[in-house]
A and B are shown apart, each in its own frame.
Chain A
Amino acid sequence: MLVLTRKKGESILIGKDIRITILELDEEKMRIGIDAPRDVKVLREELLAETIHSNIESSKFQKGVLEKLSDLNGHA
């Protein structure tokens, strides 16, 4: 991994059309500005991981739960 040190307001260029700028800094977090073409996908990594987790959970649903839900419908 390439490691660079940047100060507030400084940027990093990746290729010809991606610019990452450090906007604000404090001890716990920083705000980053990203200029990139629309076809470059920028994602918070944890969103991808959590979506993968919830998809797998959804695919393993318990049939019994669905029967309970159907009963709920019957009594509604």
Chain B
Amino acid sequence: MTKTVEIFANNLSEEKVITFKEGILGLEDFKQYVLLSPEKDLPFKYLQYTESEAVALIVINPFLYMPAYSFDIDDETILALDAKEPADILVLAVVVIPDDYTKMTANFTAPIIINTSNMLGKQMVLQDAKYQIRTPIFEVYQELISRGAE
């Protein structure tokens, strides 16, 4: 049994389902996900599609990896998520881990925004070019695991 399948089976029922009404960019047909943690204490999570264990994105808390990360959530996203309280908002960045994992990158230009009060999610593409779609994160990842951060 693969790692993801184990995670899928162990945690799925306990977790709240996040609905992306428009899907995630490039994965428009896949609308419902749960946010799962790996078994070991690693500084990333999985955004696991509820209907197939084969579809999961690796995501991180972008503020953990880039403390100065900051952007304004656009009106379209606020409206789509019916977001009212800033404290309800969870922000994730999508990670790509190639075979050579030292070349892992995170997309700081298109954060995933989740309203935890109604569990609606949307991926938002930032208009300015402040951040890169493929920001290298391996060095920070190593620092985080050596510090034992969650």
Contacts of A42 in B (CB 8 A): 127
Given the interface pairs A58-B58, A70-B42, the reply to whether A44 lies near B129 with Cβ below 8 Å is yes
Q: How many residues belonging to A are interface residues under a CB distance threshold of 8 Å?
A: 31
Determine whether A5 belongs to the interface, using a CB cutoff of 8 Å to chain B. no
The total of interchain contacts (Cβ-Cβ below 8 angstroms) comes to 97
Mask of A40-72 contacts with B, CB within 8 angstroms, 1/0:
011110011011111111110111011111101
Of residues 94 through 120 on chain B, the ones whose CB sits less than 8 Å from some CB of chain A are 94-99, 101, 105, 107, 109-110
How far apart sit A50 and B75, CA to CA, in the bound complex (Å)?
Answer: 23
Contacts of B107 in A (CB 8 A): 51, 54-55
Contacts of A68 in B (CB 8 A): 101
A51 engages B125 (CB within 8 Å): yes
Shortest C-beta distance, B77 to chain A (Å), equals 9
Q: How many residues belonging to B are interface residues under a CB distance threshold of 8 Å?
A: 41
Which residue of chain A has the shortest Cβ distance to B72 in the bound complex? A38
Determine whether B142 belongs to the interface, using a CB cutoff of 8 Å to chain A. yes
Contacts of A61 in B (CB 8 A): 56, 58, 96-97
Which residue of chain B has the shortest Cβ distance to A67 in the bound complex? B3
A73 engages B3 (CB within 8 Å): no
* Interface residue from B41, B76, B133, B145 paired with A50 (Cβ < 8 Å): B133
Contacts of A41 in B (CB 8 A): 74, 76, 127
Shortest C-beta distance, B116 to chain A (Å), equals 21
Contacts of B105 in A (CB 8 A): 54
Determine whether B26 belongs to the interface, using a CB cutoff of 8 Å to chain A. yes
How far apart sit A57 and B27, CA to CA, in the bound complex (Å)?
Answer: 11
What are 7 A-B pairs at a CB distance below 8 A? A50-B133, A55-B26, A55-B123, A58-B58, A58-B96, A59-B57, A65-B98
